[in-house]
Structure 1
Amino acid sequence: MAISVETFFLNPDAQGTLQAQIQQVVAEGILSGRFHRGEKLPSSRKLANHLGVSRITVTLAYTELLANDYLTSRGRSGYFVSDNAPVPPVYAPSHRTPDRVDWPRAFCRTFTGGDTPHKPGDWHSYRFPFIYGQADPTLFDHANWRLCALRALGQKDFTSLTGDYYDQDDPLLVEFIARHTLPRRGIAARPEEILITMGAQNALWLTAQVLLDSTRKAAVEDPCYHALRDILRQSGCQLAPLRVDADGLPPQELPSDTDVIFTTPSHQSPTTATMPLARRRALLDRARELDALIVEDDYEFELAFLAAPSPSLKSLDSDGRVIYVGSFSKSLCPGLRLGYIVGSEPFIRQARALRASVLRHPPGHLQRTAAYFLSLGHFDAQIRRMSKALHERRQVIEKAVSDHGLTIAGRGVYGGSSLWMQAPEETDTSDCMRVLAKEGVLIEAGAPFFAGPDRPTHFYRLGYSSISSARIGEGIGKISRHFANQRLRI
């Protein structure tokens, strides 16, 4: 890689000769890690013209750096950063302007400090990654995704690649969702009732921004998806957490002044409970009684390898009060960040306008690639492959959990990719999570899913989408031994 000549500047207040200043600029670039080993420097002629100095001055500076082993010369190819140069592993700017702003006073609102926990970016380096929501590279159809991406780069799709949709979406992707994805959930929708989002979390944020403010109350499941609770708090609304039971959200517990209800009826997050049909109808009746809206997050419905998923709330809705959120992140890959909202046209119109003011639209090339991948049948083939693998892993992990005497607090009745677990009541799984990570085992502590100051600390989640069947048993054994040792200490 060549180092751009535009990155070289001489400090007008610097001391010493021009030759010494050029040497210092190059040496500092190397020592700070900004210039990497093997990278080519600008030619002496180009750098001299850029800095407004004589070419001989640059040549002499390069020659001195060559003698000190900062640079190496490769015949007529020019000068390169030497392999023996003392380059630090990470680039850190050597000169920074002091920050004298009182940032806490400058902020109108803060968005840090929520419940969403940190997940290790290097999770794949752990031997037993019982981590939820990450992709298994062995299950992703990379070859066909690549072919679809190349097709989307073709001349025929030039507009989708380079055009600005402003507030619109790829018509091919919207059509596929309307004609193929939504009918599987019993939902009929026109293109004007569908909005593509940057994943389900972006969809939930848009929904909260459009429907909630400080005068309105949102009912949310407890425990629930921690990022959703962060989003709702940021909206400034009044929050009413409702403890779920074995059937999910209890409609009779909804406060009488509820404006919006957020729920995951098909696969409650994180307990995996599935709301029975009778309760779904009761929830719709209660929402009608309160004149409240319902936001249905229908994640993981595709991964139904044990039984067919129950009808979506949206399919049972006769009033247009259900806003449906779907995502391809869990079924394709988390990094894809493609989801969608389905709702009445007046709502979608406002959500579309808000999205346009923030990010206009998800990248056109990404949408067209996904549209090809879906419409050519690759998505359905991948779902079948994932379901088969997850079913096998589910059987292995349930047997291992049983053999080691661990307790399952919730398991999805139709599939999914995780188990909601319960440790001995005196256990703090946040501490266990840190200790187990040192042994190569990743689990997810349950406390951040709960609302309020007195959160239960003895729940945890085990994902099995990112760990091979061959490693599950040994990993569960390590978790079991850790809990046993904890009891002995107590």
Structure 2
Amino acid sequence: MSISAETFFLDSHAQGTLQSQIQQMIAQGILSGRFARGEKLPSSRKLAQHLGVSRITVTLAYTELVASDYLSARGRSGYYVSDTAPEPPATPPQVPKSDAVDWSRAIGQRFTGGVTPDRPRDWSRYRYAFIYGQTDPALFDHANWRLCALKALGQKDFTALTTDYYDQDDPKLIEFILRHTLPRRGITARPDQVLLTLGAQNALWLAAQVLLTQRRIAAVESPCYPALRDILTQSRCHMAPVDVDAHGLPPDRIPQADVIFTTPSHQCPTATTMPLDRRHALLDRARELDALIVEDDYEFEMSFLSPPSPALKSLDGDGRVIYVGSFSKSLFPGLRLGYLVGSESFIREARALRASVLRHPPGHIQRTAAYFLSLGHYDALIRKMGRVLADRRRVMESAIREHGLDIAGSGAFGGSSFWMRAPDGVDTRALTTRLMDQSVLIEAGQHFFPIANPPTNFYRLAYSSIPVERIPEGIARIARAIADIQTNPPPSS
């Protein structure tokens, strides 16, 4: 690998001759680890031209560095970092310049301190990973996704690959969503009523930014999707948490609000499905309040126990429901591809906001997904996942009953997780830490509640990424850890 001449700069305030400054620059690059052994230095001509010095000055600097074994000369090939050059120190050198900015005053708005959980990056090394939303490599269709990605790289799709759509989207993917995805949810729409997003979370952020102000009120389920709580907190709107029950969000408990956020197909995180009569009641309540509804329809594809209920958007006769869909949960989370469906007026504003932030999702990702969907690979993957998840769910339910654990919520239509309740007095944050030492991963439930003092004894168990044969032992370890905490509670902080 060659070192570019553009990486070198002379300091106008540096002491010493030009030759010594060049020697020092190269030596510091080697000692700091920026220049590795065997890498080729720029030719003396190129470096001299770049630095604005004579070629002989650079040549003399190189010669001195060869003599001190920092560099080696290879005939007509040029100069290289010597194979016996001093190695960088084990600890990185201290940055000499201090940060003189008072960031506590300079930062005008803070976005840290949210409640979204921070999952271990090495989650797959845990033998019993009851972790939500991660891809099981045994289920994903690697071969066909690779073929679709290669197809999207072809000359035929050169325009889709390289074009700056500005504020538009790949017409092939939009066409598939309009003709295949939305009709399955009972929704009809036109191209100007659909906007692609970087996943459902990005869609929720766009909706919150367009619809909410500091004076408006957002009704939100409790418990809810943690990232939504962060989004609404950052929007500085007024949040009105509404406790869900066995059928999801109760319409008669919704206070005066401007926007209602709900997950009717699989309530997050309880996995409860809202019945049809309650969906009609929710629309009536929104009409009474003159409120809009943002429907997050995540995991509707995972209705493997029985067909999914109609989307709330499909029952909407007023145009007050904004629909959020995503391919990230059903394909893989790193895809970051979702969509918004709403009235032309709303989509126009959301499109303009998206264009000012990220323009559009990458064209190659859009076209690859369009091929994967339109060629039938997506439907085949969903059917395969449904069969496997149904088997895992059956085994997990049996293990949970055997060990006397308490299910607080589970989707009647399917899904990929159970919402669990530990006995009173068991803090699931402590439980989570204890289980990690036993190669078990669970999600503590506190961060799902958009309230100041959330209950501490809820947790979520997902079965999307754990092989079926590991489920019984994993549940047994959870049960033993809970019993141990009850017998030997940790000291109060």
Does the pair score TM above 0.5?
yes
CA shift at 1:468, angstroms? 1.8
Separation in 2, partners of 1:447, 1:249: 19
Report the counterpart of residue 307 of structure 1 in structure 2.
306
- The match for 1:86 is 87
Q: Which residue of 1 aligns with 2:114?
A: 114
User: Would you say the 8 A contact 2:62–2:79 is kept in 1?
Assistant: no
Q: Aligned ranges for residues 212-291 of structure 1 at < 5 Å?
A: 212-255=212-255, 257-291=256-290
Deviates more, 1:19-28 or 1:96-105: 19-28
Relative to the length of structure 2, the TM-score reads 0.92
Does the 8 A contact of 1:44 with 1:58 survive in 2?
A: no
Query: Could you list the runs of 5+ residues in structure 1 that have no partner in the other structure?
Result: none
For 1:163, the equivalent position in structure 2 comes to 163
Q: Which residue of the partner structure matches residue 318 of structure 1? A: 317
Q: Distance in 2 between matches of 1:88 and 1:418?
A: 48
Q: 1:127 to 1:40 in 2, by over 3 A?
A: farther
User: What amino acid maps onto 2:301 in structure 1?
Assistant: E
Give the residue type in structure 2 aligned to 1:57: L
Matches within 5 A, 1:63-74: 63-64=66-67, 67=69
1:1-43 CA-partner distances (Å, limit 9, x unpaired):
4332221233343445555544443343344343345544434
| Residue 96 of structure 1: how far off its partner (Å) | 5.6
Tell me if 1:147 matches 2:150. no
Residues 443, 460 of structure 2: 8 Å contact kept = yes
**Contact 2:262–2:294 (CA under 8 A) maintained in structure 1:** yes
Whether the 8 Å contact between 2:218 and 2:259 is mirrored in structure 1 is yes
Equivalent in the alignment of 2:132: 132
Query: Do 2:66 and 2:72's aligned partners in 1 also have CA atoms closer than 8 Å?
Result: no
| Equivalent position to 2:59, from 52, 56, 59 | 56
Corresponding residue of 2:461: 462
Amino acid across the alignment from 1:63 = V
1:387 aligns with 2:386: yes
Farther-moved stretch of structure 1 (269-278 vs 4-13): 4-13
> 1:88 and 1:247, CA in 2 relative to 1: closer, same or farther beyond 3 A?
farther
Alignment of 1:359-378 (within 5 A): 359-378=358-377
- Which moves more between the two structures, 145-154 or 41-50? 41-50
Q: How many residues align?
A: 485
One-letter amino acid of the counterpart of residue 318, structure 1: G
Could you tell me how far apart the structure 1 residues matched to 2:416 and 2:33 are?
42
- Look up the match of 1:422: 421
Aligned to 1:435: 434
What one-letter code is carried by the residue in structure 1 that aligns with 2:440?
A: V
Q: Check conservation: 1:38, 1:83, Cα contact below 8 A.
A: no
How far 1:289 sits from its partner (Å)?
1.1
For structure 2, the 5+ residue unaligned runs are none
Question: Deviation at 1:458?
Answer: 0.6
Determine helix, strand or coil for the equivalent of 1:419: strand
Residues of 2 paired with 1:404 and 1:37: CA distance? 59
Q: Deviations over 1:47-96 (max 9, x none)?
A: 4443435343243244145x3xx667777585246488534689x67546
8 Å CA contact retained: 1:429, 1:460: yes
CA distance 1:238–1:62, change in 2 (3 Å)? same
| 1:334 equivalent in structure 2 | 333
Instruction: Give the whole-Å Cα distance in 2 for the aligned partners of 1:443 and 1:84.
Output: 49
- Give the SS at the match of 2:300: coil
Which residue pairs with 1:179 in the alignment?
179
Structure 1 CA distance for aligned equivalents of residues 246 and 236 of structure 2: 30
Give the Cα separation in 2 of the matches to 1:405 and 1:121: 31
Match of 2:103, as an amino acid?
A: W
Shift of 1:302: 0.8
Looking at structure 2, the residues matched to 38 and 401 of structure 1 have their Cα atoms a distance apart, in angstroms, of 59
User: Does residue 480 of the first structure (1) align with residue 479 of the second (2)?
Assistant: yes
Q: What's the C-alpha RMSD, in Å, of the aligned pairs? A: 2.3
Q: Which moved more, 1:13-22 or 1:181-190?
A: 13-22
Seen in structure 2, the aligned counterparts of structure 1 residues 13 and 223 have a Cα distance that, compared at 3 Å, is: same
Question: What is the identity, as a one-letter code, of the residue corresponding to 1:164?
Answer: D
